[in-house]
Structure 1
Amino acid sequence: MTEPRPSPVRITAAGVRMGMDAMWPLMPGIAVFGAAFGAAAAQKGFSAAETALSSGLVFAGLAQMVALEGWTHNWTPASLLALAMLTFTVNMRHFLMAASMRPWLGQLPGWQAYGSLLFLADNNWAAAMRYHAHGGNDAGYFVGSGLITWVVWLLSTVAGQVIGGGIPDPKAFAIDLVVPAFFIAMLVPNWKGRREAVSWGVAALVSVAASYLVPGWWFIVIGAVAGALAGGFADE
C-alpha cells in the first residue's frame, strides 16, 4: 500500500486567512512595541512619513531600534559603517530562519518564495514552522501571519510617532528611555547564570570605555565582540 503524497505547496487565500487568525493574540504586544518605536522615532526628528517608510520597508523591529539608538544628524563614513554593521549583526539570524524554511518554501516559484520572505519576522517564522511541523503545507499561512504583523507594526509605529511628536518634553514622560528599557527587557529573559554575568559585564565595561576613546557608534560593535569573546572563554 503506497503512502499518500503530501499536497503540493501553494499559497491560498484560505491559508493566508488561517495565518492571520493565528497571529491575532500576539498583535497587542506588537502594537505596543511599534508605538514605542514610533514615539522614540519622533524624538529623533523622524516625520510620520519617514517612520512609515522605515517600518514598511525595513520591517525589523530590533534592527530599527538599534538604528534609532545610533541615529545622528551629523553622519560620517565611520558612523554609517558602524550603523550598517550593527543592523547587519542584529539581522544575521534571518539567514538561518530563511534557510530553515527552504525545504518548504523552496517548492514555490521563485517570485513567490522570495517575495513571501519580505514578511519574515521572529513571531510569524516560529508560528509558521510549528504549523508546518504539524503537517501544514499551505505557504499562505506564513504569508498571512507575516502580512498581519507587517500591517499592525506599520500602523502602530505611525501612531506612536504622531503621539510622541506632540509631547513637548519627552523626558518628562521618560520617552527618551524607551530604547534602553527595551533592550534591558530583552536581556532579562536570557539570564542563565555566570556565563551571562561575565559576558554582559565585559561587554558593558568595554563599550563604555570605547565610547570615550572611539568616535561614533563603534563602541557598540567593540563591546559586543568583547562580550562574545568573554562568554566563549567563560565556557571553557
Structure 2
Amino acid sequence: MSSPRPSFSLPGLLPGARAAIPAFPGFIVFAMAFGAAAAQKGLSLGETMGLSAFVYAGASQMVGLEIWQKVWSPATILAIATVTAVVNARMILLGATLQPWLRHEPLPRTALNLFLVTEAGWLLGTRYYSEGGRDTAVLLGCGITLWLVWQASTFAGYFAGVLVPEPRRFGLDLVMPVFFSVMLVPLWKGARHALPWLVAGAVSLAVHALVPGYFFIVAGALAGVVAGMLIE
C-alpha cells in the first residue's frame, strides 16, 4: 500500500512545538555562547540579533565572528560569504532528504520550512516522517519553536557577555575553540574516520601560516572532504 500523501493542518503545529522540547538545552547553551561571544567581539545588539534571526546557523555564526571586521571591504565580505556557504553546505543534503515530504507544499511554506531547518529539527521531523507521520505542520511547528528559543537565548547571552568587561580574565575568549572541540567528541567513530579531521587540521594550519586572510578555513574544509572521499 502507498503511504498517505503529506498534508498541512494548523493543529499539527502544537505537536511539532512539543517535539522540539528535548532540543532546548543544546539550543539555549549554544545561542547564549554565541550572544556572549558577539558582545565581547564588539557587535551591537542589533547586529547580534540580526545574525541569529537571518543567518540562523550556529556553526556559521560562530565562524563568522572570527572574520567579523569593524570596517568591511569586498574581500572580507567575500570571505565571510564563502566560509558560511562551505560550513552550511551540509544543509543541501538535509534539504534533499525532505523533498519527498515537502514537494507538494506551496512554495512559500516550503521556503519557510527549509529556512528553519536545523540538525535537531531535521532529526525530529524525519523521525516523525519515518514513523508514518505526514503532517508538514509538525516540521514547521518544531522549526518555529526552535527559532524562537534561539532568539531569546541569543538575547540573554548578549547581555551576559556585556556584563563581563574582561572576558580573557575568565577564559571566555576560549568559548568558540572549546565548543568546536567538544562537538568532535560524539562524532568519533575510530581512528580511520578521524583521518579527514587530521588532514583538515594540518592543511588549515599550513595555509594559515602561508596565506593571509581566512582562506585557511575553506582550504581545511575542502581538504577534509577530499580526504574523506578518498578513504571511503
TM-score scaled by structure 1?
A: 0.90
8 Å Cα contact 1:63-1:91 kept in structure 2:
yes
CA distance in structure 1 between the partners assigned to 2:202 and 2:92 by the alignment: 30
Aligned to 2:170: 173
Aligned to 1:64: 61
Counterpart check, 1:115 vs 2:112: yes
One-letter identity of the residue aligned with 1:163? A
CA distance in structure 1 between the partners assigned to 2:110 and 2:77 by the alignment: 31
Gaps in structure 1 of 5+ consecutive residues: none
Aligned to 1:77: 74
Aligned runs of 1:60-209 on 2, under 5 Å? 60-209=57-206
Equivalent residue of 2:20, what SS?
helix
CA distance in structure 1 between the partners assigned to 2:195 and 2:109 by the alignment: 45
Of residues 42, 47, 52, the one that matches 2:49 is 52
Q: CA deviation at 1:69?
A: 2.1
CA distance in structure 2 between the partners assigned to 1:111 and 1:192 by the alignment: 39
Q: Give the total of aligned pairs.
A: 232
The share of aligned pairs that are identical, in percent, is 44
8 Å Cα contact 1:47-1:161 kept in structure 2:
no
Q: CA deviation at 1:180?
A: 0.6
Q: CA deviation at 1:78?
A: 3.1
Q: CA deviation at 1:231?
A: 4.2
CA distance in structure 2 between the partners assigned to 1:4 and 1:199 by the alignment: 41
Q: CA deviation at 1:204?
A: 2.3
- Across the aligned residues of Structure 1 and Structure 2, the Cα RMSD in angstroms comes to 2.0
8 Å Cα contact 1:67-1:83 kept in structure 2:
yes
CA distance in structure 2 between the partners assigned to 1:197 and 1:99 by the alignment: 26
8 Å Cα contact 1:38-1:160 kept in structure 2:
yes
CA distance in structure 2 between the partners assigned to 1:191 and 1:179 by the alignment: 19
8 Å Cα contact 2:86-2:218 kept in structure 1:
no
Equivalent residue of 2:125, what SS?
helix
Q: Which has the larger radius of gyration?
A: 1
CA distance in structure 2 between the partners assigned to 1:84 and 1:210 by the alignment: 19
CA distance in structure 2 between the partners assigned to 1:20 and 1:68 by the alignment: 30
Q: CA deviation at 1:130?
A: 0.9
CA distance in structure 1 between the partners assigned to 2:203 and 2:67 by the alignment: 17
TM-score scaled by structure 2?
A: 0.91
